[in-house]
Amino acid sequence: MNPFESRVDNPWAWQERFERSTAPRFCNICWWSGEAFAGVDHCESAICPECGSIARDRFLFLCFVGRQPEGRYRVLETSPRLGTHYRQAMRRWFHYRASDFDQRVHRADIELDLQNIHLESESIDILLTPHVLEHVPDTDRALSEIHRLLAAGGAMYLQVPVLQGSTARPEVPEFHGDNTPVEWRFGPDLTDRLRASGFRVRFLCTDGFLCHVDAGACYWPDPVSAEFDVPALLAGLRAEDLSPVADDEVARRLGLYPSYMFLTWEAQKVAE
């Protein structure tokens, strides 16, 4: 069964269904509701039992539909992890294509190297790029190509693991789950790189995370995942760059915990 077939006519309508549901957990992508996500509280877990989205998928989708007016956008998603049902739904809602670097792990519509994008300039309105840029050797070249690709007023929603206070190469070789090498461990200073590439930038987070930053916290009150240097991450942030997109109720029910794992850049190409 396609979980989107009978439920989702308009992705912006998830909020209405969310408010009508009394279930502890809700998926804003397929509108499933129930008692619990599978797995644990982690951006790479909290799995929707119906569409298979993990927590970071739901946050990326929330950032996109929460920050853009309704419309039938030209959308490109790089290396999408989600499967057939998700892509079918995206094609119902948008002029949607999925890309992958080499089709080795993710089967997509087109092959794309973000450092050399073989698409026409200003041919995309929205670029969704979850956990890809950390695998690209030349960050600035990729950002320049993305800026060229986006139409005036278009936006990129960019997720990478924000692991530390400033961007650096891995000290030892790192590979993600699909055996792809990690070129960069990013910090909040990626905001400045995006602005230098010509984007207007907001750094999107949950209300809970922003409250923690506003309180001047220099540590996390709970145990943290070993790959995150949260004190350095907090020290590297500028509160004025942050914009919250999920209140505590939305974060709890969408499974956006722990909140330091849910940071997404909105990088808009300003119309000249």
> Among 210, 200, 185, which residue's Cα sits nearest to residue 263?
210
pTM of the model: 0.96
Amino acid at 4: F
Q: Could you give the residue ranges of the DSSP H alpha helices within the chain?
A: 14-20, 55-67, 84-93, 139-149, 190-196, 207-214, 230-236, 248-254
CB 226 within 8 A of CB 164: no
| Pair type for strands 199-206 and 264-269 | antiparallel
- The predicted pLDDT at position 103 comes to 65
Note the helical H segments in 4-119. Answer: 14-20, 55-67, 84-93
pLDDT at residue 105, rounded to an integer? 67
- State yes or no: cis peptide before 258, omega within 30 of 0: yes
Nearest to 43 by CA among 62, 59, 27: 59
Structure tokens at 208: 């809970």
Predicted local confidence at residue 271, as pLDDT: 76
Strands of 199-206's sheet, edge to edge?
110-111, 95-100, 74-78, 124-130, 150-159, 264-269, 199-206, 242-246
Using CA atoms, how far apart are residues 233 and 218, in angstroms rounded to an integer?
Answer: 9
Q: How far apart are CA 120 and CA 118, in angstroms?
A: 7
- Write the CA distances from 237 to 50, 151, 156, 242, 267, integer angstroms: 36, 29, 20, 9, 17
Distance separating alpha carbons of residues 21 and 109, to the nearest angstrom: 35
- For 86, what's the count of Cα atoms within 13 Å in the CB-facing half-sphere? 20
**Residue 156 bridge partners (DSSP):** 127, 267
Per-residue pLDDT of the chain (272 residues; tens, 9 = 90+): 788 877 777 999 999 999 999 999 999 999 999 999 999 999 999 999 999 999 999 999 999 999 999 999 999 999 777 888 899 999 999 999 999 877 676 678 888 999 999 999 999 999 999 999 999 999 999 999 999 999 999 999 999 999 999 999 998 888 876 778 899 999 999 999 999 999 999 999 999 999 999 999 888 988 999 999 999 999 999 999 999 999 999 999 999 999 999 999 999 999 76
Domain 54-269 in this protein, CATH class: alpha beta
Cα distance between residue 107 and residue 87, in whole Å = 11
DSSP 8-state class, residue 104: S
Burial grade of 20 (CB within 10 A; 0-12, 13-18, 19 or more): exposed
Q: What does the alpha-carbon distance between residue 51 and residue 30 come to, in Å, rounded to a whole number?
A: 6
What pLDDT score does 29 carry?
95
Domain ranges of the chain: 54-269
